Amino acid sequence: MPWSKLKKLAISLPIAVAATLTLVVINELGFRHSLEALNQVEQTQSLRNSVTQLLQSMLDAETGHRGYLLTGDERYLEPYEQAISTVNTNLDQLRTLVVNSNADLSEFAQLSRQISRKLSEMDLSLRLRRDGNEDAWKFVLSTDVGLENMQAVRQHAKQIIAYSATEMNKDQSKIRQSLLLSRLGISAISAIGLLAFYMYLRQTTALQKANEHQQASLEAERARLEGLVRARTESLSELASHLQQVREDERGHLARELHDELGALLTAAKLDVARLKSRMTAEGPEVAERLKHLTETLNGVIALKRRIIEDLRPSSLSNLGLTAALEILTREFADRASLDVQINIEQVTLPEPTQLTVYRMVQESLNNIVKYAGAKQVLVTVHNYPTHVAVQIRDDGGGFDLASVRRSAHGLLGMRHRVEAAGGRLTVESKLNEGTVVSAIIPVMPAAPALTDAAI
C-alpha cells in the first residue's frame, strides 16, 4: 500500500476515535446533569407529597374529633388517634425533607407551631368532653380558634407547596437545557465522527482486499489443522476404548484366577480344618477354640474373595440381568457403607456391553460417594424409554464445585468415556453442601465402539 494511503488512514482513525470520545464525554456530562436535576425533582415531589399527606391527616383528625364531640361515640376516637399518630410521622418526614432541600425553615417552623396549636386545641376540647364539662367544650367548639389554626396550617402548607412547584419548574428547565445542549453537541460530534469514519472506510477497503488472500490461506491452514486434531482425537478415543477393554480383560482374568486357584485353596483349607475339628476330643478346649477362630477367619476370607471377584467381574450381570445385578450391588453397598440406599429400577433391554456400561457407572458413582461425599442417603434410578435409558445416582452429601474439578479426575473421565462410547451423554450436577447428581442418557441401540465384557 502506498505511504500516502497509510498516512491518511493514520490521520482519519485518530479523528474518529477523538470524536467518539468527545461524544461519550458530552453524553456523560448531560446524563449526570439531567440525573442531578431528576433527583431534585424527585426530592421536591416528595416534599410536596409529604405536605399533602400532612394536611390530609389533619383533616382526618379534625373530622374524628368533631364526630366524637357531637355524638360522644367512642368509635370516632379510633380514626382521630390514628390521624394524630400519622401527623407526627408526617411532621418528622417533612422536617427531614425540608432540611435536605433549600426550603424556608422558618415557614416549616411556623407550620409546625400551628399544627401543635391545633392539636392542643383538639386535645383540650376532647378532655373537657370526657370530663363531662359540657359548657366548656361547647364554648371551645363555638369559638373560631380551631378554624383560625386550621386556616393558618393550610396557608403555611400552601407556601411550602408553592416553593416546591417553583423548584420543580426550575429543575425541569435545567433538564430541558441539558437535553438541548447534549442534542446539539452530539449532532456536531456525530457529523465529525461520520466524516472521519467515512475517510477511514475508504482507506480500509484496500486493506480488506489485501487481507482476503491471507484469510483464505489461514482458512486452508485451519482446515488442515482441524483435520489433524480430529484424526488425533479419534485415535485417542480408540486408544482409550482399547485400554478400557484391556482393563476389563485383565479384571476378568484376575477374577478367574481368584475363583479357580484361591477359591480351591481356601476350600481345601476349610475342609482340612473341618476334619481336624471332627477328630478333636473334649480334652483340648484351647485347640478347639483356635480351630473355631480359624474357621471364622477362612469364612471371612472366602466372603472377601467373593466380593473382590464380584467387583472385578459382576457374575450377577451375566447370570441374572442388569436389574438384579444393580439391586445386589446397591444392597451390598448399603450394608458395607451403612447408608440408606433407595432404588427405583425398571426392567430394561440392553445389549451386554451397554449393560456393563450402566453397571460400571453405578458402581463407580457409589464408590465416589463412599470416598468423598459423606452422604447419608442415596437414590439410584433406572428408567426405560422407547429410544433410550435414563440412569441417575443422587446423594445428599457435601457436593463439590464443578469448576474446581481437576482434569486428572479419572473416575469422572472414565465414566464419561464409557457412556460416550456407548453413544450416550453423561452430566454431573453438584453444589457445595447440596449433594451431587450423576445422570446418563444411553440409547437403546448399541454404539459401534461400545465396550464389551467378552473376556469375562
DSSP string, 217-239: HHHHHHHHHHHHHHHHHHHHHHH
Poorest-confidence range of 20-29, 64-73, 274-283, 310-319? 274-283
Structure-block grid coordinates of residue 437: 447428581
Confidence of residue 454 (pLDDT cuts 50, 70, 90): very low
Q: What average pLDDT does the chain have?
A: 76
Residue-wise pLDDT for 381-404, tens only, equals 999 998 999 999 999 988 888 777
What pLDDT is recorded for position 241?
59
- Angular region, 132: left φ>0, alpha ψ -120 to 50, beta rest: left
pTM (whole model) above 0.75: no
Confidence of residue 409 (pLDDT cuts 50, 70, 90): low
Structure-block grid coordinates of residue 404: 474446581
The DSSP element (H or E) to which 427 belongs, if any, is strand 425-430
Residue-wise pLDDT for 265-304, tens only, equals 777 777 777 777 776 665 566 777 777 777 778 777 877 7
Poorest-confidence range of 30-39, 63-72, 124-133, 293-302? 30-39
Written as one letter, the residue type at 149 is: N
Poorest-confidence range of 209-213, 339-343, 408-412? 408-412
Give residue for cell 400519622. 86
Higher-confidence position of 89 and 270: 89
Across the beta sheet with 388-395, what order do the strands follow? 340-345, 377-384, 388-395, 436-443, 425-430
What pLDDT is recorded for position 449?
45
Give residue for cell 420543580. 168
What pLDDT is recorded for position 390?
93
What pLDDT is recorded for position 350?
86
Secondary structure in 3-state letters for 283-312: CCHHHHHHHHHHHHHHHHHHHHHHHHHHHH
Q: Is the pLDDT of residue 256 over 70?
A: no
Q: Is the pLDDT of residue 317 over 50?
A: yes
Distance CA 153, CA 146 (A): 11
Higher-confidence position of 9 and 354: 354
What pLDDT is recorded for position 382?
94
Distance CA 284, CA 116 (A): 110
Distance CA 341, CA 256 (A): 30
The DSSP element (H or E) to which 192 belongs, if any, is helix 145-257
Q: Confirm if 383 and 346 have CB atoms less than 8 A apart.
A: yes
Count of other CB atoms within 10 angstroms of residue 116: 13
Q: Confirm if 439 and 391 have CB atoms less than 8 A apart.
A: yes
Mean pLDDT over 363-367 rounds to 88
Could you say which DSSP state residue 450 is in?
A: -
Residue-wise pLDDT for 118-144, tens only, equals 777 777 777 777 777 777 667 666 666
Using a pLDDT cut of 70, give the percent of the chain over it. 75
Poorest-confidence range of 2-6, 7-11, 314-318, 427-431? 2-6
Q: How does strand 436-443 pair with strand 388-395?
A: antiparallel
Q: Is the pLDDT of residue 441 over 60?
A: yes
What pLDDT is recorded for position 321?
86
